[in-house]
Structure 1
Amino acid sequence: MTPKGYLCPATEPEVPRSRRPWPPPTPYDREITDEKTKIRVTVVDSGLWKDAVGSAESPWLETDDVFAGNEDLEQVIPTKIHEYAGHGTFVAGVISCIAPETRIDVEAALPYGGAVFESDIVDQIQDALEENKPQIISISAGTHTRDNHELLSLVLLAQNNKFDENDDVLIVAAAGNDSSNDPFYPAASAKDYPWVVSVGSVDPDKKVSDFSNFGKDWVSVYARGRNLVNAFPKGTYTCHEPPNKGKVRKFDGLAQWSGTSFSTPIVTGLIAAEMRDNGLTARAAWDVVRQTAITEYDARIGEDIQIVGPLT
C-alpha cells in the first residue's frame, strides 16, 4: 500500500468528553521511596509541559516520578497552543497511568513533531543513556525510509552500547499512522533486532485502527490507540488540518487524542509494571507481556494480530 501521509499523531487533540483519563490509573498501593530501585523510562518526544506534573487535573503525573531537564521543558503560550504541544506530556501520562511509581524522564528530541535529523535524535538517545540509564526508551515518532533501509545511526548506537548483549535495554516504538504496511523506522527494526518492540493501534473493537500502519513481519504487537485521554496544556488550540482546520478548541488540562503515538506508551507501561512487580529485565518483561496477548484476525489487513493491554 502507498502511505497516505497522515499526521503523527493520527488526529489533532480533542476536548475530552470525560474528566477521567483513559487508560485509567492502575491501582498501586506501595510507594517506592528509593529512587535507585524504580524502573527507569526515557520518553523521546516533544518535551514536558511542567504544569501538568502534580496538578489537580493529572495527579497521576507525580512530582517524584516525572522529570525533564530545563532544556527539555516545553514552552506553551496559553492563548495559542502550538501544533504537537503536549505530545510528550500525554505519552508520559499514559505510562504513569499504566505503571505508577516508574521514573519517567522526558526528552525534547522532537520539538517540531518529528522534523529532526536522524543524527540529532540518536545523539539525544545517547545522552539519555549516559545521564538517565533508562531500561526502556519509548519513541512515539519515526519515518519511512528510502528503499526501506534501516536507520544506520540507530544500529550503530545499539552496537556501541551493546544492546544485543544487554537484556535490560529496550526500545518501544510507534508503528506510525499512514495506514500502510511499508516499514516505519525505528519501529520496523523489530523485525531484525530483539531490542526493539513495534506497536500498532487497535480500536476498542479489537480491529486495527484505520490510521495505523501494520505488517506481520515488523509490527510486534497492537494496543488501543483510539481516543485516549490524558494530560494536555491549558489554553486555546486552533486546528491545522481538515476537516477541522480553523476550529478553535479550549483545553483545561486534559485532551483526547489518537494515534500509534499513544498505543506505544501503553505497551511501555505494561513492560515497566512487569519489571517493577517481578524484578525482571526489560526483555524478559516484554516476553511476559507478549504472552498475555490475544490473537484476532483482522479482515481489512488480512492478518492475525496480537493485542495487549486494556481496550475498554
Structure 2
Amino acid sequence: MTIEYIPEPQTRGGTEEFGLTWQGITLPREILDRHGARILDPWSGPLDQGERRPDSTVYRSNVLLVPGQALISDESVGWIDGALSELGLRLSPVSVERARGRDYGSENVWMPAVLEIDGSRQDVDVDAWRALRALRRALSREPDDRAGRAELAMISLDHLFVGSATSGIGSLDLGGEPATSGHAMTDQPGTRSRPEYGRMPVTVVAGPPPRRPLEDLGGPRITVVTLDTGVAKHHPWFRPVTDHDAFLSVDPDGQRQIEDTHPAYADRDIARLVGYEDLGLPANPLLGMLNTHAGHGLMLAGLVAQIAPDARVLMYKVMHSDGIVPGEALHAALDRLLWRLDHGEPVDVLCCAFGGFSEAGDAAMQALFDKVNQLRARGVIVVNAAGNYATTRPFYLAALSETAVSGPPLAPMIGVAAKNPDGTIAIFSNEHPAVRWRAPGAMVVSTFPPQFQGAQNAALTTGERASLDVDAVGPFCAWSGTSFAAPIVAGCIAAELTRTIGQVGVDPVERARSVVDMMINDKLVRPEVVPI
C-alpha cells in the first residue's frame, strides 16, 4: 500500500478553467424533502445588474447561518428583519432566543436561524437564497462604518455536504461503465446494482492489530477526530466507547451541543441528528434496505486502526445515514473541537470524509475555512476527501487545501484522491489543483457494524441457507470512495505523530508541518510492514 504526493499541481490549457459549475448536484427528491433542502439552479433565478450568476449548490431552504454576535444584537436582528420584509420574511424569534443562550467568545460562531413568514402575507416563497440576496443588496446601501457590518456580511446559506462513499448520493453516475456507478446492493430508489466499487461484505480472518498499552507510549495517544455517522456497538475489534483508553471514543457533551443547533422546519421537524450512535436507519423500514452511508463512520475508524493502532479515534456524529452533513452540525462540531483544545484536550488530526459544492466559489466557504484555520493554528492537521463526482469542479473543503493564508504558519491541510488497487486513479475520484495526495480508495476492507442486517431485519429471509446478501453485511466489508482514502492518509499521519509523543516543548504547528514534510519528502509513504 502506497500513498503518493503530487509535487506539482495539475494544470490545464491556458484558457480552460477547472470544473463545470453545474456538475455534481444529483440528490434525489426524497433526500431534499427529508432535509428541507433545495438545489440552487444557476439558470432559473433572477439577477440584479452586475450580479454574478451563482453556481449550483444544495442548501437548507428556510435556514440561514448567522454569526451569533449578530443574533445577540437587537439592532442587527432588527436590521435583518427589515431587509427581509420586502420578501415577507423575518428571522424566527425562537431561533434568535436559542442563539442568545450560547456563550460567545471573541471568535465567530455561526448559528442556524430559521426564516418564517412575517405577518399575514400570503404565497410567500421561503427561500434562503432569495433572502441572502436581499440582505446583501440592503447591506450594499449601508455605510462602510456601520456597526455590526462585518458580522452581517458573513451571513451565509446553510449548505448541505455529502459523504464521499460510492453509494447513492455523494458520487456521480457516469452511466454504463461497469465499474463506475452504483454498488452491489439496493439502497435508495433509482440507484443501480452493480458489484465492483460498492459496499460488499467480506470475511476477515485476522484479529485487530496489536495496540501498545498507554504506559508504554511515553505520553498521550495521538487523537484522530472523525466527523461522520457515529459509532456502532458490539464490533469485535473495538471495546465499548465508555471503556478507559478505548481506541474508539465519543464526546457526549459535545454531541449534545451538535444536536442543540438543529432548528425546526416550519411546523414539523426535519431529519435530526440524535446521539452518537450510528443506528443504521433503513431507507425503507418495510423492506429493510440499508441506507447509503450506514456504517460509513466505522469504516473510517477501522482504517485508522489498521495503520495507527496506538492512536485513538474520537468520533462526532454529524452525518445522517443517508450521507447528508448539515452545515450547522459541521460548524457546531468544529466549535466543540476548538473548545477542547482551549481546555487542554488533544486533537491532532481531523478527518473529513465528505464535502460539497458552493454557489460562489471559495468565498461562499470562507466562514467554514476560517473555522478550520483556527484549528490549524493550534496544530491540527486537516485531511479532506476529494469527492467522487469525477470532476475538477472545486469540492469543499478539499479544494481549499492549498489556499495560502496570511499570518503565522498553520498546520497542513490536505486533499486526498482515491487510487485503484493497481495504482491508477479511481475513475470516480475528483481532481483539482489543491488535491495533491492519492491513497487507496477502491474496495478497501475495514470494519462494519455487524448488527446492520438490511433486508433480514424486515423478515424477508426464507431460512438459514441463503446466497450472499450484500445488504446483510457482517463485521467487515469492502467499500470504495475518497471517503476511505482520506482516513488512510490520516492514519499514516497519526502513526508518524506517534513517533513524536516523547518530544517535549515542541510547537504543535511546527510538529505537524515537519511530519507532513517528512511524508512528502519520502515521495511514496509506506506504513511499516514486517514480512513473515
TM-score scaled by length of structure 1: 0.78
Deviation at 1:84, TM superposition (A): 1.0
1:224 aligns with 2:407: no
Residue 283 (structure 1) aligns with: 513
Deviation at 1:60, TM superposition (A): 9.2
Structure number with the bigger relative contact order (C-alpha 8 A, sep ≥ 6) is 1
1:10 aligns with 2:227: no
Distance of 1:51 and 1:81 partners within structure 2:
18
1:116 aligns with 2:325: yes
Residue 19 (structure 1) aligns with: 204
Deviation at 1:29, TM superposition (A): 6.4
Distance 1:59 1:105, change over 3 A: closer
Which of the pair has more CA radius of gyration? 2
Distance of 1:220 and 1:61 partners within structure 2:
36
Deviation at 1:265, TM superposition (A): 0.5
Question: What's the % identity of the aligned pairs?
Answer: 24
Structure 1 runs (4+) greater than 6 angstroms displaced? none
| Letter of the structure 1 residue corresponding to residue 443 of structure 2 | N
1:187 aligns with 2:385: no
Q: Per the alignment, in what secondary structure is the counterpart of residue 354 of structure 2?
A: coil
Distance of 1:44 and 1:198 partners within structure 2:
16
Q: Per the alignment, in what secondary structure is the counterpart of residue 255 of structure 1?
A: strand
Structure 1: gaps of 5 or more residues: 239-246, 295-307
Distance 1:35 1:68, change over 3 A: farther
Which shows bigger deviation, 39-48 or 111-120? Answer: 111-120
Distance of 1:75 and 1:265 partners within structure 2:
22
Matches within 5 A, 1:263-302: 263-279=485-501, 281-294=511-524
| Letter of the structure 2 residue corresponding to residue 120 of structure 1 | A
Distance of 1:29 and 1:72 partners within structure 2:
24
Residue 231 (structure 2) aligns with: 48
Residue 244 (structure 1) aligns with: none
Residue 383 (structure 2) aligns with: 172
Residue 423 (structure 2) aligns with: 206
Deviation at 1:220, TM superposition (A): 2.2
Distance of 1:107 and 1:87 partners within structure 2:
13
1:135 aligns with 2:320: no
Deviation at 1:251, TM superposition (A): 1.4
Distance of 2:358 and 2:277 partners within structure 1:
30
1:155 aligns with 2:369: yes
Deviation at 1:121, TM superposition (A): 0.3
The number of equivalent residue pairs is 279
Contact 1:60 1:93 in 2 (8 A): no
Distance of 1:108 and 1:212 partners within structure 2:
25
Which shows bigger deviation, 192-201 or 91-100? Answer: 192-201
- Correspondent of 1:86 among 295, 302, 312: 295
Q: Per the alignment, in what secondary structure is the counterpart of residue 213 of structure 1?
A: coil
Structure 2: gaps of 5 or more residues: 1-18, 27-162, 168-182, 184-197, 253-274, 283-287, 405-409, 456-468, 504-510, 528-532
Residue 252 (structure 1) aligns with: 474
Provide the aligned C-alpha RMSD in A.
3.0
Distance 1:41 1:17, change over 3 A: closer
Distance of 1:248 and 1:28 partners within structure 2:
30
Residue 454 (structure 2) aligns with: 237
- Correspondent of 1:101 among 310, 313, 316: 310
Distance 1:260 1:35, change over 3 A: farther
